[in-house]
């Protein structure tokens, strides 16, 4: 390879590197997050960090312009179809290998300036690229961290906003307390969103050294979304209560009417169960005592709560009345079941007594006076009204054991 060819290849590499740097800088400078930050009113950590980062980005552009000017001269000496002339090789090699990029330095206050101080020495193209790479990394990390916070907290904030918007038409008329709670949630959401927009880095938690945790944007660390998630949970719970109260409001008349009808049906069922209980108690015993009757539902009071829009109190009273009605219905079923079970138990004991009498006859013990006496005693108990089931069952068991003993002897 001739010196001219080698120089041409190096020029091509430098030009490609400059184009890549320029594309990345333009993308960074035109990013949505950077443009928002330039026009935002920032506070706290973000204000301080962005002031430093903006200055670093401005210096980065100054370095790039100085670097790009040198690269333009390099391109002029030999790029494209034109190979460098032999006479231009010394200048080209000097531009490629020696200090030729003048980096800007922060201005020194006049009071601290040295009269004989020279300007900052020029650096090579490679050194300029290294300086820009370090500055670019620092700027990108800050922008990426801010973008990661805005993205992360935006999810619960947006969910809470949508839920509040959905519930807002339902809140009016549900009561001052729920309306005040809803307004407080809206205010809290607005305040938290404004704080996250003004100082997103206050919610940024850098990753501990060596952990290597990175966001999708590339910043090492993670956004703290705990407060935003708590607010979303509070809003979801609040809107769930709003939905319940709205459902009570929409179904109030229907539930009150249903309660009236259910109470009437429950009393009819209780009358039937009491009749069956009394009929059974005249024939068998002992039966469980009759439970108290159903108190009249406070229908007038429920209607008054509905007319005044006191939906929370109405919901609580309706739930209580419906629970009492359910308990009353369960007692009625239990009462009816107890009466039926008592009659069934007596009939079962009668059948058992007849079966053992037949067995005594098969054993040839029908004339046994002792067995006959026990049978008569059990029979009298079972066919006497009211029948004491406890005593009658004991008498049947005594007759049973006597027959079994007779069977054993024989």
Tens-digit pLDDT profile for residues 111-142: 665 655 555 678 898 999 999 999 999 999 99
Confidence of residue 213 (pLDDT cuts 50, 70, 90): low
pLDDT (0 to 100) of residue 406: 82
Q: Give the residue, 342 or 81, on which the prediction is more confident.
A: 342
Residue 178 and residue 79 share a domain? yes
pLDDT, average across residues 390-394: 93
Residue 295 and residue 185 share a domain? no
Beta strands in 109-197 (DSSP E): none
Q: Is the pLDDT of residue 362 over 70?
A: yes
Local structure of 222: helix, strand or coil: strand
Q: Is the pLDDT of residue 367 over 90?
A: no
Q: Residue 387: enclosing H or E segment and its boundaries?
A: strand 387-388
Q: How many CB atoms lie within 10 A of CB 245?
A: 20
Confidence of residue 312 (pLDDT cuts 50, 70, 90): confident
CA distance 270 to 330: 10
Q: What is the DSSP-derived secondary structure letter of residue 86?
A: G
Residue 17 and residue 31 share a domain? yes
pLDDT (0 to 100) of residue 113: 58
Query: 284: which strand partners?
Result: 387
Of 223, 258, 280, at which residue does a domain stop? 223
Query: CB–CB of 213/157 below 8 Å?
Result: no
Mean pLDDT of the chain: 87
pLDDT (0 to 100) of residue 111: 64
CA distance 277 to 338: 8
Confidence of residue 6 (pLDDT cuts 50, 70, 90): confident
Q: Residue 268 sits in which domain range? A: 246-340
Residue 402 and residue 295 share a domain? no
Of 288, 317, 340, at which residue does a domain stop? 340
pLDDT in tens, 232-277: 999 999 999 999 889 888 888 899 999 999 999 999 999 999 999 9
pTM over 0.85: no
Confidence of residue 160 (pLDDT cuts 50, 70, 90): very high
> In the chain, how many H helices and how many E strands?
11, 4
Residue 136 and residue 37 share a domain? yes
Confidence of residue 207 (pLDDT cuts 50, 70, 90): confident
Residue 144 and residue 72 share a domain? yes
Local structure of 103: helix, strand or coil: coil
Confidence of residue 215 (pLDDT cuts 50, 70, 90): low
pLDDT (0 to 100) of residue 1: 66
pLDDT (0 to 100) of residue 329: 92
pLDDT (0 to 100) of residue 378: 92
Residue 293 and residue 201 share a domain? no
Local structure of 331: helix, strand or coil: helix
Q: Is the pLDDT of residue 382 over 60?
A: yes
Q: How many CB atoms lie within 10 A of CB 405?
A: 10
């Amino acid at each position: 390879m001739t010196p001219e060819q080698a120089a041409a290849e190096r020029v091509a590499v430098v030009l490609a590197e400059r184009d890549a740097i320029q594309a990345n800088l333009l993308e960074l400078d035109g990013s949505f997050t950077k443009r928002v930050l330039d026009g935002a009113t920032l506070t706290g950590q973000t204000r301080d960090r962005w002031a430093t980062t903006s200055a670093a980005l401005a210096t980065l552009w100054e370095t790039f312009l100085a670097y790009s000017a040198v690269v333009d001269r390099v391109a002029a000496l030999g790029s494209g179809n034109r190979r460098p002339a032999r006479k231009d090789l010394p200048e080209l090699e000097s531009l490629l290998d020696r200090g030729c990029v003048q980096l800007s330095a922060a201005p020194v206050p006049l009071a601290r300036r040295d009269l004989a101080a020279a300007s900052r020495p020029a650096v090579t193209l490679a050194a300029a690229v290294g300086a820009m790479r370090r500055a670019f990394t620092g700027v990108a990390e800050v922008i990426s961290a801010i973008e990661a916070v805005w993205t992360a907290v935006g999810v619960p904030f947006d969910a809470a906003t949508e839920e509040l918007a959905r519930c807002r038409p339902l809140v009016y008329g549900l009561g001052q307390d729920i309306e005040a709670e809803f307004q407080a949630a809206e205010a809290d959401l607005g305040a938290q969103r404004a704080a996250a927009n003004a100082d997103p880095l206050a919610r940024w938690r850098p990753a501990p050294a060596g952990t290597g945790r990175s966001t999708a944007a590339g910043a090492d660390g993670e956004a703290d979304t705990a407060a935003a998630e708590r607010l979303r949970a509070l809003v979801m719970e609040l809107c769930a209560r709003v939905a319940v109260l709205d459902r009570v409001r929409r179904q109030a008349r229907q539930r009150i009417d249903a309660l009236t009808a259910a109470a009437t049906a429950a009393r009819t069922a209780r009358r039937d169960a009491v009749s069956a209980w009394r009929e059974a108690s005249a024939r068998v015993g002992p039966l469980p005592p009759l439970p108290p009757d159903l108190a009249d539902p406070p229908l007038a009071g429920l209607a008054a709560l509905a007319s005044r829009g006191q939906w929370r109190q109405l919901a609580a009273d309706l739930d209580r009345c419906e629970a009492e009605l359910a308990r009353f219905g369960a007692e009625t079923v239990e009462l009816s079941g107890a009466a039926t079970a008592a009659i069934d138990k007596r009939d079962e004991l009668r059948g058992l007594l007849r079966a053992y009498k037949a067995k005594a006859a098969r054993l040839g013990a029908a004339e046994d006076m002792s067995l006959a006496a026990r049978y008569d005693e059990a029979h009298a108990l079972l066919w006497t009204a009211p029948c004491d089931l406890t005593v009658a069952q004991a008498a049947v068991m005594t007759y049973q054991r006597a027959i079994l003993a007779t069977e054993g002897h024989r």
